[in-house]
Amino acid sequence: MLVSKNLAVNESGHLTVGGVDTVSLAKQYGTPLYVMDEGLIREHCRSFKASMDRYYGGEGLVCYASKAFCCKAMCKIMLDEGMGLDVVSEGELYTALSVGFPAERICFHGNNKTDRELSYAVESGVGRIIVDNIFELERLDRIAAEKGVKARIMFRIKPGIDAHTHNFVMTGQIDSKFGFALETGEAFEAVRKAISCENIELAGLHCHIGSQIFDIDPFVKAAEVMLGLISQIKDELGYEVKELNLGGGFGIRYTEEDCPVEYDRYMETVSAKVKEVCAEKGLRLPYILIEPGRSVAAPAGITLYTVGGRKVIPNIRTYLSVDGGMCDNPRYALYQSKYDIEIANKASLPKSDTVTVAGKCCETGDLIGEAMPVQPAEPGDILAVLATGAYNYSMSSNYNRIPKPAVVMVKDGDSRIVVKRETLEDIIRNDIE
């Protein structure tokens, strides 16, 4: 069973993605190569939006978290699909605006936005700046005043939910660099202050409880906690917060150990809770925003490498070396993330070998994975790592001065380059002798 539904094996025994032969892609564009399936990306956008329509009457905005995978083509797809966008730096904002993405559908995040970034966001008319701390609120109020406009903001709140334990708990998360704490009263005081700021319009509250979460309960609990704060604000400050941004974090299947929840179930359960709590507390239903990143992009992507060598260390392990590594996918080195792999040109054979896939960086920890079942491989074979569409290209580096791979988008049986492969010239482009 292949982890993503856009993957298959054709009559030549080759792995296909979105119906396109990956061995041909490797031949045509070279390796390492990121391949993204536009059809699946669009399908994900549509299913998130359909759930929002079905369960919440469309009274919300699905914002793709562009940190997962950002380039002009991706922003253009999000524009076409009528999505909102979450950006977290001037670089992501610049990319989005460069394809004509409407600024009012952008949420600008970050725990330490510079004055330049805040000015850029205000000048561009970003619809929601997610303010992280009180210093940022003060700076933004001043910047907006200088420009003679009102900045539309949300506050990032730490709802005190740790979704990354087996059974999620409601403690601990006070220790996070992001946002305002709830239990200390810090969040409430920030709201009080924002309401009095001349050049600030407090549109809503935001929370994001983590990433790659498989449980619905922590999301439901977070919605409840946030509505509690909205209710307190209404009762004690007489201010009606209109919008609630519940962040991203929906888990996806990297290997068959992962059992993600369908987005539909998430929206259904969370919408029901929001409606219930609002009715109970006499609140108007807030406009809801969600920010899926991984779940939009990850299953749509794979990475293709060429196998360089196979090193057997008797009774210890077998290494397969590939022509990329932690420079294009740092997730194993950082988080011991698990992936499935296939030998793309032998995908119909049984996975009778077990290997450690090593990259080409000068670093022992430069691995794509360990104890990975795979078809018997030899030098020259094409190795595919699956579900790499999120946080791979976006977290890539030029460690060891290795040029970044190209990104190819497949759609309706065709392929096109959306990010060119870096050249050696690119590597020294900013160097001055």
Write out the residues near ligand LLP by the rule CB under 6 A. Answer: 65, 67-68, 86, 109, 208, 211, 247-250, 291-295, 331, 391
> Shortest Cβ distance from residue 221 to ligand LLP (Å)?
17
Q: How far apart (Å, rounded) are the C-alpha atoms in residues 164 and 213?
A: 7
CB contact set of 324 (below 8 Å; sequence gap of 6+):
31, 32, 303, 305, 359, 360, 402, 405
Residue closer to ligand LLP by CB (options 96, 377) is 96
> Shortest Cβ distance from residue 95 to ligand LLP (Å)?
17
Residue closer to ligand LLP by CB (options 121, 377) is 121
Of the listed 70, 327, 361, 362, which one is catalytic? 362
Would you call 116 exposed, middle or buried from its count of C-beta atoms within 10 A (0-12, 13-18, 19+)?
A: exposed
> Shortest Cβ distance from residue 43 to ligand LLP (Å)?
16
Residue closer to ligand LLP by CB (options 6, 329) is 329
Strand order in 15-17's β-sheet? 7-9, 15-17, 20-21
Residue closer to ligand LLP by CB (options 305, 339) is 339
> Shortest Cβ distance from residue 63 to ligand LLP (Å)?
8
Residue closer to ligand LLP by CB (options 305, 391) is 391
CB contact set of 44 (below 8 Å; sequence gap of 6+):
292, 295, 296, 297, 299, 300
Would you call 413 exposed, middle or buried from its count of C-beta atoms within 10 A (0-12, 13-18, 19+)?
A: exposed
Q: Which residue has the tokens 């793709």?
A: 64
Could you confirm whether 362 is annotated as catalytic?
yes
Residue closer to ligand LLP by CB (options 6, 212) is 212
Side-chain half-sphere exposure of 345, counting CA atoms within 13 A:
16
> Shortest Cβ distance from residue 129 to ligand LLP (Å)?
13
**280: phi then psi, degrees, rounded to nearest 5:** -60, -40
323 and 308 Cβ atoms separated by less than 8 Å: yes
> Shortest Cβ distance from residue 406 to ligand LLP (Å)?
21
CA distances, 426 to each of 35, 303, 325, 403, 433 (Å) = 21, 21, 19, 8, 15
Query: Residue 416's Cα: distance from chain center in Å?
Result: 23
Catalytic residues: 362
